[in-house]
């Protein structure tokens, strides 16, 4: 029984290496300015109101952080304004 659990962390570590930079589970927040999603309403022609959200245009960018290249999630407005130095 102990053998099965001993190998489990290796499988999880391998799965973690094969994942994308981010997923929908992570917070949709810019690492530079802290901009997050906005919330509001969809209003149909019949005036049915449902909640919706506007997500931030986040991009995975390799940037210099403390002189070291690091992959961070930055909104498009921070990239355009030059707030980051790409590595």
> What tens digit of pLDDT does each residue of 2-16 get?
555 555 555 555 555
User: What's the whole-model pTM score?
Assistant: 0.65
Residue pair 35/55 in contact by the 8 Å Cβ criterion:
no
pLDDT value of position 87: 85
Tokens of 44: 């149909």
Domain ranges of the chain: 22-87
- First-to-last alpha carbon distance for the chain, in angstroms, is 47
Alpha-carbon distance of 28 to 12, in angstroms, equals: 24
Q: Specify the 3-state DSSP secondary structure of 73.
A: strand
Provide the mean pLDDT of the chain.
Answer: 83
pLDDT band at residue 81 using 50, 70 and 90 as cut-offs: very high
Do 30 and 63 contact (CB within 8 A), yes or no?
no
What is the topology classification, in CATH, of domain 22-87? Ribosomal Protein L24e; Chain: T; (2.30.170)
- Residue among 66, 57, 62 nearest 87 (CA): 62
pLDDT at residue number 26: 78
Residue with tokens 């506007």: 54
Taking only the tens place, the pLDDT of each residue in 49-60 is 999 999 999 999
């Amino acid at each position: 029984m102990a053998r099965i659990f001993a190998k489990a962390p290796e499988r999880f570590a391998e799965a973690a290496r094969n994942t994308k930079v981010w997923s929908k589970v992570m917070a949709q927040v810019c690492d530079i300015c802290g901009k997050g999603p906005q919330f509001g309403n969809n209003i149909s022609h019949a005036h049915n109101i449902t909640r919706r959200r506007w997500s931030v245009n986040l991009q995975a960018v390799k940037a210099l952080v403390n002189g070291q290249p690091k992959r961070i999630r930055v909104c498009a407005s921070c990239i355009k304004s030059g707030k980051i130095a790409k590595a």
